[in-house]
Chain A
Amino acid sequence: MILREISLRNFRNYLKLNLRFDNRLNIIIGSNGVGKSNLLESIYILGFGRSPWATLNRDVINFNENWSTITGHAKDRNIEVKVKFLSNGHKKAEVNNKTVKSLSELLGLFTETLIGHEEINLVRGAPSYRRKLMDMHISQIDPEYVQCLNKYNKAVTARNKILEKLKGDGVVGGKVLLESWNDILVQNGAYIIRKRKAFLDKVEKQCKEFFSFLSNEPEKLDIEYSPSFEYSSVEAIEEDYHKKLNEKYSRELRYSNTFYGPHRDDLTITLDSRSMRRFGSWGQSRAASISILLASAQLLEDFYNCKPILLLDDCFTDLDEIRSRRLFELAPQIGQTFISSPKPLSFTQNTDGFTYKIHPSGVVERMQ
């Protein structure tokens, strides 16, 4: 869905703001701290019902007020989404003036992808960032995945506890109990592995295309799923997983820890067969993480059958002139794009789309 209009009341530094947006491209410029990211944050909240950053619900409310609302109107469908924050930390959402039972009902209306500063961690950060990316995207299109993930995580904690007891005084139920948790671990773990594999197979091809377009050089980007144990085929995951657990039982017992399964998965991202994490430059890493996120945004489009919204929050840092220009060209082709930048982007002159300048006073001015 395309976001045609947003109105903010008492949201962060905006007491009252109404803005109309272009279908393709919207650029928001302004000095540090004037509220560019706040604006993108409010759009994000329309899509997910929560802030992308770890903030308390009441933190988004203007300091002098005790409630805040964000209202967004879709262009292509007659839909209005409203998210309301109250000072007691509660929030609720309405779609066309009807309160939704759960905020998860907002998913799939404004399908958004945020590409901000921290997203470079997809390439440079710890494996947990890459697992989180997969989990976030798959959860959006498969509710059973969320349940399996919950059950799986419980099984890991339970197993570790039992392993610890087996090492010590033992536990009633002993190995049978451990084997029962193994069944839960394997059953849910295998589901997660299959889904992650399928997700990556779809993302990889698209991601490569985006990356080579951005870099404009014959560099070859590869993303490979690296599960924590080898399996012979997708059908045999359960069998091989069980085998691994049996083989490594004494090691797991020694450390009272679960070493195998989706919680130890990673992605190997390579550029011309060299590890990007170890050898890539900041610019290359940034271009790669942007490509991955753009590709997963495209995947959401296939699922929800509507174009995604891209929020590019100050993500031109580290990118050279060519890559910046190309990203600027590419993003609006994928979906409605919002770009925030502390300085005017040199290549944005003579482009169609809306440019807004935010003044330090909080006044938002449309530039011609």
Chain B
Amino acid sequence: MASRNKIPETLERVCDEFSKLPGIGKKTASRLAFYIMNLPREEALRLSESIEALVENVRFCSKCFNITESDPCPVCSDPGRDQEVMVVVEEPNDMFAIEDIGEYHGLYHILGGAIAPLDGVEPEDLHIRELIERIREGTIREVIIATNPNAEGDVTSVYISKLLKPLGVKVTRIARGLPTGSDLEFADKTTLKKALEGRTEE
């Protein structure tokens, strides 16, 4: 019997690893693998080195669960930041978005998601217990909840405030309203309605 030509095992292993990534199927995985195979040696190795560095050096901050290269993270270890206010967000990206404004100088706490029983995310899967411990320490005066305005974000916000209020801390939630820089007439009805409800004195 004639032997059939097969993809080398090493290449197949790379394909398998790629296809485990989100949004990547078998076809794309093999295309990526072939592409890398044809890269100059240094460039291909730079990719594997950067992945190694990511795994070795980047971790979660033990205080706020932000992603960081040093533990505690730069925010948590900066004594110049306001130690009495804390913003609670779902994901590290949300924190970076707020950090980018450059106007907030308090602390953060990253939950690592929102309560979503339909996706199997229960409160114990989030960093809520750690949040309560941080509040118990007593320095925080106000907790600002900045979860997303969907059912999961809403219930997470309610749940957290029910747990935190008995500890004597002020709990607020960020407002919903119009994006600045755009015209009123382009806002969708729901946003406009929420903006009207949450109006402030001029």
Binding site for B on A (CB under 8 A): 142-144, 147, 150-151, 154-155, 157-158, 161-162, 171-173, 176-177, 179-181, 183-184, 187
| Residue from A147, A158, A171 with most neighbouring chain B CB atoms (10 Å) | A158
State the interface size on chain B (CB cutoff 8 A): 19
Docked-complex contact B155 and A157, CB < 8 angstroms:
no
Extra pairs beyond A158-B117, A162-B117 (8, CB < 8 Å): A151-B151, A154-B151, A157-B118, A158-B155, A180-B158, A180-B162, A184-B151, A184-B158
Provide the residues of chain A in CB contact with B193, threshold 8 Å: 144
Docked-complex contact B159 and A143, CB < 8 angstroms:
no
Docked-complex contact B162 and A179, CB < 8 angstroms:
yes
In-complex Cβ contact of A177 among B115, B154, B188 (8 A): B115
Docked-complex contact B188 and A155, CB < 8 angstroms:
no
Provide the residues of chain B in CB contact with A171, threshold 8 Å: 122
Min CB distance B130 to A, Å, is 14
Docked-complex contact A150 and B122, CB < 8 angstroms:
no
Docked-complex contact B155 and A180, CB < 8 angstroms:
yes
B92 interface residue (CB < 8 Å to A): no
CA of A144 to CA of B190 in the docked complex: distance in angstroms? 5
Docked-complex contact A144 and B117, CB < 8 angstroms:
no
Provide the residues of chain A in CB contact with B190, threshold 8 Å: 143-144, 147
Min CB distance A130 to B, Å, is 25
Secondary structure dominating the interface of A = helix
Provide the residues of chain A in CB contact with B115, threshold 8 Å: 177, 180
Provide the residues of chain A in CB contact with B122, threshold 8 Å: 171-173
Docked-complex contact A184 and B123, CB < 8 angstroms:
no
CA of A181 to CA of B189 in the docked complex: distance in angstroms? 26
Docked-complex contact A183 and B158, CB < 8 angstroms:
yes
Provide the residues of chain A in CB contact with B150, threshold 8 Å: 151
A151-B154, A184-B155 as given contacts; A173 in contact with B123, CB under 8 Å:
yes
Docked-complex contact B123 and A172, CB < 8 angstroms:
yes
Provide the residues of chain B in CB contact with A155, threshold 8 Å: 151, 155
Interface residues of B in 184-202 (CB under 8 A from A): 188-190, 193
